[in-house]
Amino acid sequence: MAESLIDRYLLGDPVSKPDVVASLLARRTTAPAAAAFYRAFEAIGARAADEAFVALRLVLAGREPSDAAVRRLRALGLVARACANGDRAGLRGVLERERALLADLPQDGEPVLASLGAAARAAYGREVTS
């Protein structure tokens, strides 16, 4: 399923961006709101911004890809990815930059990467559940 491949990529699992694009183009949905995304992926492929994957993921979940929803999912993905990679500097940057969007995640003291990553993944899952 293309949705799970997008999720795995955005959450930092070892999935290549070109593989995600190929999967999306091979398994297109008929949802009218997704058509523009498919055309963009055909035109620019893996050079597409991750926000395009996030917005399409929301469309595939039957949700509106509003700027706030895209920014929130992108931030959750960045937290999960930083935690999975042990990237504390990247994690601090995301938490500082997107504090308001990530207010529901534990942010007191030095974060335990495994639990913060799990919390980000769980929140991401709730956001894309249709």
* Number of folded domains that form the chain: 1
pLDDT at 55: 96
* CA pair distance 126, 22, nearest whole angstrom: 26
Residue 129's domain comprises 1-130
pLDDT of residue 8: 95
Angle, vertex CA 47, rays to CA 19 and CA 35, nearest 5: 75
98 contacts 71 by C-beta, under 8 angstroms: yes
Instruction: Give the model's pLDDT for residue 130.
Output: 56
pLDDT computed for residue 1 by the predictor: 66
* Tens digits of pLDDT across the chain (130 residues): 678 899 999 999 999 999 999 999 999 999 899 999 999 999 999 999 999 999 999 999 999 999 999 999 999 999 999 999 999 999 999 999 999 999 999 876 677 899 999 999 999 999 998 5
